[in-house]
Amino acid sequence: MTGFGRAEQSRGGWLCRVEVRSVNFRFLDPRLRLPPALAHLEEDLKAVVKKRLERGKVEITMHITPDLPATPDHGAGQPQANPFARLAQLARQAEQAGIPLRVSLREMMEFQEIAPGGGEDNQEALGALAEDTLGLALDQLTTMRRVEGQALKADLSARLALMRGLMEQIVPLARELPALYAQRLKDNLARLNPGLTVDPERVALEMALFADKCDVTEEITRFMAHLDHMEQLMEEQGSVGRKMDFLSQELNREINTLTTKGGHQDISRLGVELKSELEKLREQAQNIE
């Protein structure tokens, strides 16, 4: 399913921004673009995604920068709550003096590590900030995907109703198959040998054998049961996409068996229409969470 989420948070002198995009895919494929300073968190962040999502190609872009508020000059001997504020002050002074000051993100992190609250505690704080911000972005993504899911539900419900109607047209045709076969047998015998006396018992035996061979009652019953199960899944909470994908395979198997055993022109035509609608349903089911 498709979706988009964006979030940002500021904590401990750092500003974290996250964007998450997802497109349809049968499996879950998270791909992260992280700044070098957060590369060691890739597996942890993927674990966060896997707890929230089950399908889709998910692209995550994360940026983390120092949160540099425009604080006034505290003067000599006055401590600054944010160590980066002092760095920003130095950058402004260097700019005024005509001296370019370029500092990388890694150097900024090292700068904070020598400030109060730095070191390993700072790394843990950055990891927590990254995970929390990612969680907020995933909340937005999930909300957007839920809206799409409601639209998919309406489409799938319409297709299930159409498939049920097509199967209901097959039911009376299947019941008529033995009688149609008996009449066809009599007509063929009369055409081949007009003077031949047909044994009614032999015709009845042939009809019984054919009726057993072309009986599709079980296939129709299972097909309708699978449709009922599909409709129940659409009312459930949680992940149902894989179950619907499996049921669509079972529906396809029942259609194939039914049209093969039926051997009737109208049943074959309706079977083609059923498979056409089922293929559309299956494509949608493969993208559902």
How many folded domains does the chain comprise?
1
For the record, the structure tokens of 169 come out as: 């047209």
**179 in any annotated domain:** yes
Angle at CA 145, nearest 5°, toward 228 and 19? Answer: 160
**105 in any annotated domain:** no
Q: Is the pLDDT of residue 71 over 60?
A: no
- What pLDDT, on the 0 to 100 scale, is given for residue 221? 93
**258 in any annotated domain:** yes
**17 in any annotated domain:** no
In the chain, the percentage of residues whose pLDDT exceeds 70 is 76
Radius of gyration of the chain from Cα atoms?
Answer: 34
Q: Express each pLDDT in 228-258 by its tens digit.
A: 999 998 888 777 888 898 999 999 999 998 8
**94 in any annotated domain:** no
Q: Is the pLDDT of residue 184 over 80?
A: no
Distances (CA, A) of 143 to 138, 150, 243: 8, 11, 22
pLDDT-derived band at 196 (thresholds 50, 70, 90) equals low
**252 in any annotated domain:** yes
Lowest average pLDDT, out of 141-150, 203-212, 252-261, goes to 203-212
**183 in any annotated domain:** yes
Query: Which residues neighbour 231 within 8 Å (Cβ) at sequence distance 6 or greater?
Result: 157, 160
Short-list 108, 121, 149, 135, CA closest to 237 = 149
Q: Which domain holds residue 258?
A: 147-285
Query: Which residues neighbour 20 within 8 Å (Cβ) at sequence distance 6 or greater?
Result: 3, 4, 5, 6, 58, 59, 60, 61, 134, 137, 138, 140, 141
**135 in any annotated domain:** no
State the average pLDDT for the chain.
81
